[in-house]
Amino acid sequence: MKIGFIGLGNMGAPMAANLVKAGHEVTGFDTAGVTVEDVTPAASGPEAAKGAEVVITMLPNGAILRLVAAEVIPAMAKGATLVDCSTVDVDSAKSVAQDTEKAGILFVDAPVSGGIGGAAGGTLTFMAGGSDVAFAKAEPLFDIMGQKAVHCGEAGAGQAAKICNNMILGVTMIATCEAFALADKLGLDRQKMFDVVSTSSGYSWTMNAYCPAPGIGPQSPADNDYKPGFAADLMLKDLRLSQQAAESADADTPMGALAQALYARFVEEEDGAGRDFSAMLPRFEKRGRG
């Protein structure tokens, strides 16, 4: 398949590389001039998109997605498919879907879960929104770049699933870190707490698979001085998207709003920038109730 790939950053570059390894012909473009082995470089987004059966984008935010889509849609052939794997606001995904429909192009919004490791290993999960026909066109590529793809509904549903999932993740990580800090002050051994909670009703992914306490549970960024697996900055971005969507949909999400406020303080006023989102634990360790 002839594929255009726009956005060859930490996530996009290994995703494009996996498509090439699977035998696809990939032409790539990135504003930073990044090149990927065996990916044919293009001088612009429209050049990467020209003649492609599928164009994949992996971009920082909705505003950039809208700009890139406005450039590449006119360069794409009718019947081609635009697959956006960025995590953006639901409104931007729906807006681009409308633009593609007018141009006779299929669209899938397909944000991912699994981070840089998942992108490199081809083990990402794709949460996809779009028509059945569009999803069917993209699914073989999801199978190469990831281990699972869930068709969540019409355009925008992929973004909705991603931000709902990550709102749960942010809230749960805060609760897990708070509990460890409380356990410390109550004199409860961290390993004992893990042994109880990980097999009791407090069970969660943040406790069992991504424990924020160093030396407890499976290896996680906590064991690597909180170097990011998933950066607090990105968690803050996703929580802001969740609250933007909640406002747009008139949904009451007080825990999501509080998690956004805490991560904003952590990233923008404290030492959270550039650290893993589980570095909330040392933050709570140092704090009292004041």
d(CA 131, CA 160): 16
d(CA 232, CA 49): 33
Torsion of CA 180, 183, 187, 189, to 10 degrees: -60
d(CA 245, CA 165): 13
- Residue 162 catalytic? yes
Both tokens assigned to 276: 């893993």
Phi, psi of 186 (to 5 degrees): -90, 0
d(CA 92, CA 160): 12
Question: In 161-177, which positions are buried (b, 16+ CB within 10 angstroms) versus exposed (e)?
Answer: bbbbbbbbbbbbbbbbb
Phi, psi of 160 (to 5 degrees): -60, -45
d(CA 205, CA 220): 12
d(CA 99, CA 35): 29
Query: Active-site residue among 94, 137, 162, 237?
Result: 162
Question: In 115-145, which positions are buried (b, 16+ CB within 10 angstroms) versus exposed (e)?
Answer: beebbbebebbbbbbbbeebbebbeebbeeb
3 state SS of 200 = coil
Both tokens assigned to 274: 């550039």
The kind and range of the H/E element at 214 are none
- Cite the active site residues: 162
